[in-house]
Structure 1
Amino acid sequence: MSAILEALQAHADEFVAMRRDIHRHPELGFEEFRTSDLVAERLARWGYAVERGLGGTGVVGQLRRGTGGKRLGLRADMDALPIVETTGLAHASTRHGVMHACGHDGHTAMLLAAAHHLATQGQFDGTLNLIFQPAEEGQGGEGQGGAKRMIEDGLFAKYPCDAVFAMHNMPGHPQGKLLLREGAAMASSDHVTITLEGTGGHGAMPHRAADPVVAGSAIVMGLQSIVARNIDPLHMAVITVGAFNAGMANNVIPQSATLELSVRSLDRGVRDTLERRITELAQGQAQSFGVTARVDYRRSYPVLVNTSAETEFARKVALELVGADRVEPQARPLTGSEDFAFMLEQVPGSYVLIGNGDGTADGINDGHGACMVHNPGYDFNDRNLPIGAAYWALLAQRFLV
């Protein structure tokens, strides 16, 4: 065991307790008031210069050592989700209908544990910026996650970084395994609303109406041809129609219908193609059925792209900490989305995953390791706290030299 991991293991119980306290007091995006209070108080206690309010409830802690000019950013997210918890970990103080179903409580606790170690034992030369971000889950509206709002509030103008890094726990992988990927690592996420306007009428006399339901049904099927025929087969694209709303009665042809789409890709050019073809297809299909289509295409999170040099650096830190058998150097990309992508559009960096378990973990996480995130039975694996914290501490010391 490396010396830095051994040092973090010695304080693990304190930060496990902190993580569970955060878990018992979940807060939705831009409402992380108690969590922000906890983060700001601890950082100030350990000697960090603290600023609050970036992005609403965001917190930045800065620690300078020596005369080095390098500047590093490490980011953790703090928000929970609107989900009713079923883990058995819910407490009387837990807010009903809100839970940490994605492990952000663990992300916050890992970075706080690293913050404590770096303040008390860390050896580095330069500027360390710890970014505790609200609303990664985007409760503030499409495209308005906490990362974007912190940037708009001057995050990198006030706290310039030469590189920025973040970490997320990932179920289905062995607990504590570190997964890295150079290049596109997570998909863009766009929200599309297609509103069809036709002519309503009696269900017994469809020839006198212009049926938006028939047009919408054709559009649903036609949309899949975009992925099959307009996108390079070697590229990823997803078009999901998650909602189709129309009508109130079986014998009435409605005046209008609405489709709600989730659109994802791993390539910026593919993203542009999807927007163009979805708009063209929806309007063309609608016209062929004698109705009109209004397409509201809202771009949300961009493709998350890990830069080459920073990913290689992060990979070396992972290998040094846990060894080659606990590192996946070029993991597969994910079709989920992450608003850390906004930060990577501003500053080079890399996003690393830490395995949360494959369902065989013991102790309090037994049975939860293989759950999917955003699941009412999901829980962060506490055995990852010292590993994740040690990774952050080692990365900071290797970067700030």
Structure 2
Amino acid sequence: MQHTEAEIAELVALRRDIHANPETAFDETRTSELVAAKLRAWDIETHTGIGSTGVVGVIHGRLGPGRSIALRADMDALPMQEEGMPLHRSLRNGVFHGCGHDGHTAMLLGAARHFSKHREFHGTLVLVFQPAEETGGGANAMLADGLETRFPFDEIYAMHNAPHFSPGTFGVRDGAMLASCDELRIEVTGVGGHGSSPEKTIDPIAAAAQLICALQTVVSRSVDPSAMAVLSIGSIHAGTTSNVIPAHASLTGTLRTFDESIRSLAKSRIETICAGVAKATGCAISIEFYGSSPATINHREQAEAAARAAQTVFGAANVLREFAPLNGSEDFSEFLLRRPGAYVLLGQGGVYCHHPEFDFNDDVLPLGVRFFVALAEQRLAA
């Protein structure tokens, strides 16, 4: 398929409108309404409010029964300030499409527009516009709302921009694509007091310091060096002034792995270390894991199907099959636990995702649409 200049311009304008009006997890009201309005304008069966702010479009092929293929795009923005200065800069203070979900949504809408006009295929195409990927809750919210039973699909695919790949390239691996992610929150409770009389306190800051150092042994001394695991403490909050020992300290961080057994081992070691430091210091220490997503593991047949479709768009030389999996995480993994599918990468260049000057590369929008179309056509013809 080829796009006209008018079609490309419409997609770019749509993407930039979403970028200028970003919405964070489960707050994607305007974005959902825009998506639903486009689908309805193209005479596509449209369902809203799936998993709170999710939208699902369904297109039945005119050639009769066949496979049901789901294509998914995420819609939410990040709670961070945009520092770049594009003309379509975010109009909301502290909210920013710093991960390219505006582009993902626009590309899936581009595919929807194509199939609204070309329904000569077997089976069903399910278009999944998901909220709250950044918090890891959107996929499970849609699943809990009956996504699989209300809109049955045999396979599911998703695409994410890849700044570390050059524009015009495409990547898909068999097996692990992204790491699991468990966010963790550690609360340390002691006894506060005057800074001149530490013996009358139970110092949570000293306990937190010991805890941070001890947690470094989870990866360095508990995990096989040939395996991947990353444990990072990202914040520590305690106290309000220099001469008071506070009663409380709070730490947050993330644990990432590619293997469920290592994930379980690391979480167990974190809990053991927290209990040990609590006993050694006299503080009460609690640990909570939240915002969790398992590793994103592609299914071989679907990854190979995605690669074949990509070759028709990017050329065989520009389809990457062997590259290191990424340490980032994605709740698309929840779908892959339930149905065969694949998560793929669209090269775009530029600064990396979550950088304050990130912007989706509009030049690759047509490539993403063409991939979605080629993939759906091939799978619905099989």
Give the corresponding residue for 2:22: 26
Name the SS of the counterpart of 1:353 in structure 2.
strand
Q: Which residue of 2 aligns with 1:88?
A: 85
Higher alpha-carbon deviation: 78-87 or 103-112:
78-87
Q: Does 1:392 align with 2:369?
A: no
Written as runs of structure 1 = structure 2, the 5 A alignment for 1:6-21 is 6-7=2-3, 11-21=7-17
Kindly state the Cα deviation for residue 34 of structure 1 after the two structures are TM-superposed.
Answer: 2.0
Give the residue type in structure 2 aligned to 1:251: N
Q: Identify the residue that residue 366 of structure 1 maps to in structure 2.
A: none
Q: TM-score normalized by structure 2?
A: 0.94
Are 1:340 and 2:361 matched, yes or no? no
Matched, 1:254 2:238: no
- Would you say the 8 A contact 2:233–2:252 is kept in 1? yes
- The match for 2:72 is 75
Cα root mean square deviation, aligned: 1.8
Task: State whether structure 2 residue 49 is matched by structure 1 residue 53.
Answer: yes
| Structure 2 counterpart SS, 1:400 | helix
Unaligned runs of 5+ in 1: 358-368
SS at match of 1:232: coil
Q: Does 1:37 align with 2:4?
A: no
2:280 counterpart letter in structure 1:
S
Shift of 1:215: 1.8
1:148 aligns with one of 120, 140, 147: 140
- 1:199 partner SS: coil
* CA deviation vs aligned residue, 1:302-323 (integer Å, no higher than 9, x gap): 2111111111111111122211
TM-score, normalised by the number of residues in structure 1: 0.90
> What residue identity is the alignment partner of 1:221?
C
Pairwise CA distance, 1:208? 3.7
**Contact 1:68-1:126 at 8 Å conserved across structures:** yes
CA distance in 2, matches of 1:238, 1:204: 38
Structure 1 position 248, deviation (Å): 2.7
- TM-superposed deviation, 1:258: 1.9
1:100 aligns with 2:58: no
Q: Secondary structure at the match of 1:11?
A: helix
**How far apart, CA to CA, are the structure 2 residues paired with 1:63 and 1:349?**
19
**What SS does structure 2 have at the residue aligned with 1:59?**
strand
CA offsets per residue over residues 178-216 of structure 1, 9 Å max, x none? 111111211111122222223334333333433222221
Check whether the contact 1:47–1:63 (CA below 8 A) recurs between aligned residues. Answer: no
Counterpart-to-counterpart distance in 2, 1:179 and 1:9: 27
Corresponding residue for 2:225? 233
Deviation at 1:88, TM superposition (A): 1.9
2:95 alignment partner AA: V
Q: CA deviation at 1:21?
A: 1.8
Residues 274 and 169 of structure 1: is their aligned pair in 2 closer, same or farther, counting only changes over 3 Å? Answer: same
Q: How does 1:270-281 map to 2 (within 5 A)?
A: 270-281=262-273
Q: Determine if contact 1:8/1:386 at 8 Å carries over to the other structure.
A: no
Distance (Å, rounded) in 2 between the aligned partners of 1:215 and 1:27: 38
Task: Describe how 1:187-202 pairs up with structure 2 within 5 A.
Answer: 187-202=179-194
Q: Residue 235 of structure 2 aligns with which residue? A: 243
Correspondences of 1:119-198 after superposition (within 5 Å): 119-121=116-118, 123-138=120-135, 143=136, 145-198=137-190
Q: Is the 8 A contact 1:122 1:393 kept in 2?
A: no
Query: Is the CA contact (8 Å cut-off) linking 1:184 and 1:267 kept in structure 2?
Result: no
Distance 1:71 1:92 in 2: 38
Match of 2:308 in 1: 316
For structure 2, the residue ranges without an aligned partner over 5 or more in a row are none
> Aligned partners of 1:161 and 1:330: how far apart in 2?
28
Map of 1:234-383 to 2, 5 A cutoff? 234-298=226-290, 300-357=292-349, 369=350, 371-383=351-363
The residue type paired with residue 273 of structure 2 is L
Structure 1's 250 and 174: CA in aligned 2 closer, same or farther, altered over 3 A? same
Q: Distance in 2 between matches of 1:238 and 1:337?
A: 12
Closer, same or farther: CA 36–205 of 1 in aligned 2, 3 Å: closer
Number of residue-to-residue matches in the alignment: 380
Query: C-alpha deviations, 1:344-394, integer Å up to 9, x for none?
Result: 11211000010112xxxxxxxxxxx1x121122111111111100000001
2:216 to 224, 227, 248: 224
2:251 partner SS: strand
